[in-house]
Structure formats: structure tokens, C-alpha cells
Structure 1
Amino acid sequence: MLVAAAVCPCPPLLVPEVAAGAAPELDAARTACADALGLLAAARPDLLVVVAPADETGPVRYAQGTPGSFSGFGVDREVTLGPAAEGGAAAGTLPPSLAVAGWLLERAGWADAPIEGLTVGEPLTAERCIQVGSDIAARAERVALLVMGDASACRTVKAPGYLDERAEPFDAQVARALGSADLAALKELDAGLAHELKVSGRAPWQVLAGAAEGADLSGTLLYEDAPYGVGYLVATWS
């Protein structure tokens, strides 16, 4: 059963080495993410599953200790998805969203429970996302989720998707849903609109909604902002 969840954004700019001189601009987001991971540790889960967006439809699974890096962003910085499991690092390479999660877990000194990674792509339907979440929640008696994903990328004219007047209301809807653990609102997110607004978090958030069914969790919104014209949200469910 799901006992706790943390929702964090996944821009590589969260990693100070990647952000370089602009690093202080996301200090508040980093602090909120650290607080959210602290809640996950306090929940004492038997299993932590990290759910993140990726290009493949998925779901694609990644073992604890899978390596990743930020070399694609011009930075020689390597990470793993949690501490390497006994026997050495797992095979494969983390996509950027899970590499950011690996950095957050490293920064938090995570050693509280086994970790698994799972990516879900934009084409995955809401129904499938919800089923994936339900299956995750049944994996152990006490399951925690770290859910990675960004809101719209169309909040300003300098945003990656330029300015779209629908972006701010969409992000506000998501913020309300995450801040109140509103499962119905997350399940009903418009996948077509999310695609048009370049939202990477829609599928991971709907996995969370499926995992939380029957769990009676309450939500808290820790951070909401749109630096660089992209919506970043941090929330906790417990």
C-alpha cells in the first residue's frame, strides 16, 4: 500500500553543476525537494519506486544502482539510482529524468529502503497509468513513490514552448490537485492539452493517482513557480 509520496520537478538545472552560474535561481526548489524526500524517509517504506517521464511509452523499469550522467548537458557528473546494489551497478543507463532523481536521492543520503525506477511516456493512456500505479502499490506492505515531472513549458514568451495562455490555468489545476491529493482531478487531466503545453509530468502524476487509491493520504504543496517559463511543482502526500 502507498504510505507516502513526493512530487518533484525533473529539470537537469536542479543539479548545480549543470546550472552553473544560474544555480541559485532554483535554490528554493532544491530545498523543497529535500524536504519532500525527508518525508519519504520518515514514512519508513519497504520499497521506494521512482516514477519519471521518458521518451519511450513504457513502462520501462530500472534497477537500483543503474548509472546515469549529465554529460549530455556538458557536465562530467555521474549519478546512480540510489546506492549500488550488492554485486555492483546495474546494467543500462538512466534517462535524464531518473538521473535527476538519482541526484536528489544522493543529496538526501537515501539508504532507507530498496529502490526501483520506472519511466512512463507521454503516449501512455490515463487508464494504463492508473493500472501501473495500482500494481506498484501492491508491491509491498509499505510503498513510497518519488514522482518526477514538470508542468507546462509555455508560461512565458521565452519558455521552450513559447507563451500559451492555457498554460497557467493548467498548472494551477495541477497544483491544486497535488496540494490536496485530489485523485479524481489527476485522473481527469487532459492528455491532449498536456501534450500541447509540453507537460512532462502528466503520466507520472496519473500513476501516482492510481497508486494512491484507497490509501487516504493528504497532500501539501511545498513549491510552485515557473522559472524559465516552465512550471515546477513540489508536493508531498502522507
Structure 2
Amino acid sequence: MTTPLAKAAEKAVEELEKNPYYDKYAAKIAQLQKTSPEEFLARVEQKKNKVQSLQSLRKERQFTSLLKPKENIQTGVGAQQVPLDKYMKVETVKDMTADEIKEIWLKYHIQKEVIAATIPAAEYDKMVEQANKIPLFLLPLPRSQGYEFIVLQHHFNTVHFTPLICYQVHKENAPECLTVTNYTEFKDDKGIVLMRGEFDKNTIDAKEAQCLANQLQLYYNQRDPEKLKLMETFTFTPEAFKHQDLIKQIETLSL
């Protein structure tokens, strides 16, 4: 007798078979379906939600128009970083646990037009290590007629994102559509880094800002061989880099 769980898994596989990358992962999919159908369905649902999110982004916004260059450019260590004390009194919370600090940080930002998160120290260290090797990279952002490429650049504890069209024209004076700041005040003793991302609401919205932040983690933290290879190609052999390979990665199903 076929159980409802088995029927759901069979239907999920039928959908997966439509994916051009199915053959590559067929053996892993079959094994996971056999050993843990609940986990298999959970992963399929998670991937489905991500795809739907990308599709909704693609429907909502056109490509960015050329923006004006930044004014009053500042340089140097932390020139544009707002101190953490503006958002959280370090002395007040320094004796709290990591979980308590995390809760305060997220609650403070929940009603504000920014994105925020906490990053485990080990993951942040991996990101910094990779950023030192590859400080500049591209990310695809879904648009109504395809994808728009966004340039990201690491600078000390910040990551600056700007539309490629603006970067090509204005270079270092290109205006950011998103600036992610990582606060490391609690990294050593609490094991967490506080992340805050401010975005230009005339260029992207909160959902798009979160999409870029998620991709930042995927490429700089997870050490996926295919993603690492693409980043290295972009940096060290740019003549071999293909933008379409970047788009394939964001659309590839990976269980």
C-alpha cells in the first residue's frame, strides 16, 4: 500500500526530473528519498520556496538605470562605518549571552528598513579568508527580463554592492545599492558577529537586499567546489569567465 508520504515523494521526483541538472544528482536524490523521505520532501519544499522567491523578484523590478556617482568620497579604515554603539550599547550587553545579544539585535531591526542577522564567528572567519583572496565578485539579481549583475566588494568589515552598469561607469565612486556592515565586537568572547545591511530603497527593496546577502553567504562561506571554481575564474582568468555560468548556479537544484 502506497502511503501519502510516498505519493508526495513520487510527485516531487516527477517535478525534479524536469530540471536539466536532474541526471547529475539522480543517485543522491534516490538515496535520500529511500533513506529519509521526510528530509527529502523538506529539502524539495525549501528549494521550491527559494525558486518561487526568485521568480517573484523577477516579476517586480526592471533593470537599474545609471545612477549618479557618490559625493564626498571617504577613504581609510572604517571611514564610512557607523559605530555599533549607535544601535546597541556594548557596555550594557557585554555580560549577556550570545543568544540574548542576538535576540536584542534582531528585535531592534525588525521594524526598520534594513536587513540584519548574526553570523557565527567560524563562518565569519571563513568569509574573511575568502574575501582576502577574492575581494571583488559578481552576483545575479532577478529582474523582469532576466538577471541584473551586482558587483560586490569587500573593504575591511564592510561589503559594498553596486549595479554593474554603475560600477563600469563610476568605478570606486559608484553608488551602493546595499552596504553590509559586520560588527566584530562580540566575535572573540561571544562567538558571534552582528550584521546590518542598509539598502537604497530607490534601487532595491528588502527582499532583493536579502537575496544578495544570502548569495554572499553561499559564495564566501560554504566552500562549494563549483562556486569556488567560478570565483577563481572570475578573479584569476577573467577571459574564461562566463556570466551564464553564474546564472546557472543560482538556478541549479542542489539537494
Report the TM-score when normalising by structure 2: 0.23
Larger radius of gyration: 2
Higher relative contact order (CA 8 A, sep 6+): 1
Greater strand content: 1
The structure with the greater share of residues assigned to helix is: 2
